[in-house]
């Protein structure tokens, strides 16, 4: 059992379980029970737990220097930035500590781009229903979800939201004040909702036609999660600005805002900053994550196990069509749309020692570490099957 009272702010509803250590796709609880981790700390532990290469990189850097501030050159950061630039559309990288901060940088950059071009009135950003961009004042306004906005005073101005997939509504929302569109290529918290490639191409064309910047929020979808380094690569559409975080530090807090030189034109010295962002510990770990994710064959592995997982989940759905309605997603970012409450399903899975994560639209997300094996995928689906069978039994009992 967890603590009955806690001094921690009660903003989280925590499961009554504490993990003591992890290895690969497994977490070991204080009592010694082993859990198969298909949540990966919400898509953060991209290389699983206690990956020897990451442990070595962190401890080696820890014995040299932890923090120097951005008043000095940080060679590990130059190197990580260069590698990200080489691997993507981007020319420029800004390091920070979280997804929300990466999005804040993206939002500020898009506004400053237009201001620098003589159009400070172009500051509004169009976002999409069901979006999640973080929990700062600006990013809750961008996400547009009432449950996150309410009670926190005046909503930050400058965000206009349109229904996902409604191109007519989108075009109608573009005004002379619009600066950018901001979109997750696959909505994560919103329920693993994939944006079709044709729609992304349409967004790109609209941006080009109206002089808008296209911002992709790849905080959850990035760093190999979908089987490509970044999810937008599946569509062939490139953004002007992109945020990434979660998986990029493999569990060490790290975010990045990547951009073309043109999109970043307004971000002159002094225009933005962060004390911790890009510190040597984070940069060392980020480089170590890339050593592995960029290694030949790594993404092939992700795509191979993802296919196995998807096939097994499809047959699970066929066996329990009342419980599992639909399988969604790309690569190792999969969602089960459920016919039972997603929190109940996640709890039933946890009772089978499988960790999965509820999302919006009554979905449970499966976000295993990218190093997960086919055997572990098979074990996970057996555990999901047990959970589904139990809930299926409950449904049938209720129908009788
Ligand atoms: C998690 C997430 C964020 C916020 O990241 P934090 O590190 O929690 O600030 C932003 N966008 C997306 C798509 C996310 O999944």
Which pLDDT score, from 0 to 100, does residue 399 have? 72
Residue of 245, 251, 329, 358 to test ligand 1 pocket, by largest number of atoms within 8 Å of CB: 245
Question: How many A from CA of 249 to the centre of ligand 1?
Answer: 13
Specify the ligand 1 atom closest to the Cα of 136: 9
Is the CB of 133 within 6 Å of ligand 1? yes
CB-CB contact of 264 with 115 (8 Å) = no
Q: How many residues does the chain have?
A: 400
Which pLDDT score, from 0 to 100, does residue 368 have? 98
Specify the ligand 1 atom closest to the Cα of 97: 7
The CATH number of 65-293, from 2.160.10.10, 3.40.50.880, 3.40.640.10, 3.90.75.20, is: 3.40.640.10
Separation CA 129–CA 344 (nearest Å): 25
Is 220 among the annotated ligand-binding positions? yes
Q: Binning pLDDT at 50, 70 and 90, where does residue 396 land? A: confident
Q: Average pLDDT in the 14-32 region?
A: 96
Specify the ligand 1 atom closest to the Cα of 217: 13
Residue 333, C-beta contacts closer than 8 angstroms, at least 6 positions apart: 43, 186, 188, 192, 220, 221, 225, 226, 231, 365, 367
Domain 19-50+297-399 has CATH 1.25.40.10: no
Tell me the pLDDT tens digit for each residue of 99-152: 999 999 999 999 999 999 999 999 999 999 999 999 999 999 999 999 999 999
Is 217 among the annotated ligand-binding positions? yes
Is 99 among the annotated ligand-binding positions? yes
Specify the ligand 1 atom closest to the Cα of 245: 7
Is the CB of 219 within 6 Å of ligand 1? yes
Is the CB of 130 within 6 Å of ligand 1? no
CB-CB contact of 95 with 278 (8 Å) = yes
Task: Give whole-number Cα distances, 155 to 111, 143, 146, 148, 184, in Å.
Answer: 17, 11, 10, 11, 21
Is 127 among the annotated ligand-binding positions? no
Domain with CATH 3.90.1150.10 in the chain: 19-50+297-399
Is the CB of 370 within 6 Å of ligand 1? no
Is 82 among the annotated ligand-binding positions? no
CA dihedral 340, 346, 348, 350 (to 10 degrees): 180
Q: Residue 359 carries which DSSP code? A: E
- Coil, strand or helix at 65: coil
Residue of 216, 230, 246, 257 to test ligand 1 pocket, by largest number of atoms within 8 Å of CB: 246
The radius of gyration of the chain's CA atoms, rounded to the nearest angstrom, is 21
Residue of 43, 45, 99, 191 to test ligand 1 pocket, by largest number of atoms within 8 Å of CB: 99
Which pLDDT score, from 0 to 100, does residue 4 have? 61
Residue 369, C-beta contacts closer than 8 angstroms, at least 6 positions apart: 24, 25, 37, 40, 45, 46, 47, 48, 49
Domain with CATH 3.40.640.10 in the chain: 65-293
Residue of 188, 225, 249 to test ligand 1 pocket, by largest number of atoms within 8 Å of CB: 188
Separation CA 230–CA 242 (nearest Å): 10
Which pLDDT score, from 0 to 100, does residue 91 have? 98
Least Cα distance to 217 among 253, 191, 256, 252 occurs for 256
Which pLDDT score, from 0 to 100, does residue 2 have? 52
Specify the ligand 1 atom closest to the Cα of 98: 7
Is the CB of 333 within 6 Å of ligand 1? no
Question: How many A from CA of 132 to the centre of ligand 1?
Answer: 7
Which pLDDT score, from 0 to 100, does residue 296 have? 98
Is the CB of 114 within 6 Å of ligand 1? no
Question: How many A from CA of 196 to the centre of ligand 1?
Answer: 21
Query: Taking each helix axis from N to C terminus, what angle separates 374-399 and 298-319, rounded to the nearest 10 degrees?
Result: 20
pLDDT at 364 over 90: yes
Question: What percent of the chain is predicted at pLDDT more than 70?
Answer: 99
Tell me the pLDDT tens digit for each residue of 38-87: 999 999 999 999 999 999 999 999 999 999 999 999 999 999 999 999 99
Tell me the pLDDT tens digit for each residue of 295-322: 999 999 999 999 999 999 999 999 999 9
Least Cα distance to 125 among 154, 158, 155, 162 occurs for 158
Specify the ligand 1 atom closest to the Cα of 99: 5
């Amino acid at each position: 059992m967890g603590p009955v009272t806690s001094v921690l702010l009660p903003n989280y509803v925590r499961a009554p379980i504490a993990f003591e250590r992890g290895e690969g796709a497994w977490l070991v609880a204080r009592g010694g029970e082993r859990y198969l981790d298909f949540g990966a700390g919400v898509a953060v532990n991209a290389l699983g737990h206690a990956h020897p290469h990451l442990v070595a990189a962190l401890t080696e850097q820890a014995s040299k220097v932890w923090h120097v501030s951005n008043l000095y050159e940080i060679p590990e950061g130059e190197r990580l930035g260069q590698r990200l630039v080489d691997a993507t559309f981007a020319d420029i990288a800004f390091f920070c500590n979280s997804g929300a901060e990466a999005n804040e940088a993206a939002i500020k950059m898009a506004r400053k781009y237009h201001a620098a071009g003589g159009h400070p009135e172009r500051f509004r950003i169009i976002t999409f229903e069901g979006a999640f961009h973080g929990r700062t004042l600006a990013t809750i306004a961008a996400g547009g979800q009432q449950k996150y906005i309410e009670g926190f005073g005046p909503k930050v101005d400058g965000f206009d939201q349109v229904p996902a997939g409604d191109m007519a509504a989108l075009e109608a929302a573009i005004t002379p004040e619009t600066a950018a569109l901001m979109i997750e290529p696959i909505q994560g918290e919103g329920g693993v909702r994939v944006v079709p490639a044709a729609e992304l191409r349409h967004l790109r064309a609209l941006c080009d036609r109206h002089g808008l910047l296209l911002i992709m929020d790849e905080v959850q979808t990035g760093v190999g999660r979908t089987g490509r380094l970044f999810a937008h690569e599946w569509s062939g559409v490139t953004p002007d600005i992109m945020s990434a975080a979660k998986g990029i530090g493999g569990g060490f807090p790290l975010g990045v805002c990547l951009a073309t030189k043109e999109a970043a034109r307004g971000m002159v010295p002094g225009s933005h900053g962060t004390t911790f962002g890009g510190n040597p510990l984070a940069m060392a770990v980020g480089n170590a994550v890339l050593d592995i994710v960029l290694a030949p064959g790594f993404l092939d592995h992700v795509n191979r196990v993802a296919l196995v997982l998807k096939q097994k989940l499809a047959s699970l759905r066929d066996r329990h069509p009342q419980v599992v309605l639909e399988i969604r997603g790309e690569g190792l970012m999969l969602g089960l749309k459920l016919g039972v409450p997603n929190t109940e399903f996640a709890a039933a899975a946890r009772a089978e020692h499988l960790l999965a994560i509820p999302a919006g639209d009554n979905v449970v997300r499966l976000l295993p570490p990218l190093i997960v094996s086919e055997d572990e995928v098979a074990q996970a689906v057996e555990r999901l099957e047990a959970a589904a069978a139990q809930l299926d039994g409950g449904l049938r009992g209720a129908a009788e």
